Amino acid sequence: MSQEPTAPSGYVNPETVARPFARLGWIAFWLQLALSSLPILLMLYVVLRSPTSASGRGVDLREYVALGGLLVLLFTTWWCYRYTRIAKRMLDPESRPSSASVIRTLWIGVVASCLGAFISALLLLTAVVRLLIVFMLAPQGGVPVIHTASDDRARWVSALDMVDLFTMVLTITVELVVLAFSLWLLFKMIGWAVGYDRAAGGATALDEGAAALQAQ
């Protein structure tokens, strides 16, 4: 039975640090890729099956915000892939990043995930409010399933609206999952920082401070 390589006391084996980065990085990457592609396929199906359901709505500020949320999702997907590359570099003594560089990368992932979750929550809130207004203005007996009138298209409720809601729910879910992964890695890396830098052969902040005191 093989034993996991150990590091001297006060040191953290870089393999121990790289393992969760690779595992959680790949999980978050494929999760975002899968959950972001599903709403796109549904939207294409709705548009191709009933092109008139998406006509006449125009492009408003909400669409630009949604585009920004999509760009943030693409960025966090690429950033999670970056975690896996960091894990690979940790195993190579020649290109091993410092703990400060890794922590900085994780903070960027945390901020990007928070921004993506905030945008998705904002879009979800506006979409729910719009649907609430539409149903409040409709007769209390219900609304017709098929509406072909050319006037007052703002009061339409179509399958595309449901796809929008589904997309926002999936987006905010995956952003919160990525945020949880990034925060967990960040807290673990902060605890590992001193031992990781010592094992990597670099001077830590504590070592530099002790050396400065001895020099005085």
- For residue 112, the model assigns a pLDDT of 92
Number of domains observed in the structure of the chain: 1
Residue 1 lies in a domain: no
Residue 215 lies in a domain: no
Interatomic CA distance for residues 195 and 168, integer angstroms: 41
- For residue 134, the model assigns a pLDDT of 74
Strand ranges (DSSP E) for 58-172? none
Residue 7 lies in a domain: no
- For residue 153, the model assigns a pLDDT of 52
Residue 199 lies in a domain: no
Residue 130 lies in a domain: yes
Question: Of 51 and 25, which is predicted with more confidence?
Answer: 25
Q: Find the domain containing 172 and state its range.
A: 14-144+155-192
Residue 26 lies in a domain: yes
- For residue 56, the model assigns a pLDDT of 45
For residue 144, name the pLDDT band (cuts at 50, 70, 90): low
For residue 204, name the pLDDT band (cuts at 50, 70, 90): very low
- For residue 136, the model assigns a pLDDT of 75
Residue 150 lies in a domain: no
Provide mean pLDDT across the span 132-153. 60
Q: Which two tokens stand for residue 46?
A: 């709705």
Give 176's contacts (C-beta < 8 A, 6+ positions apart). Answer: 113, 117
Residue 207 lies in a domain: no
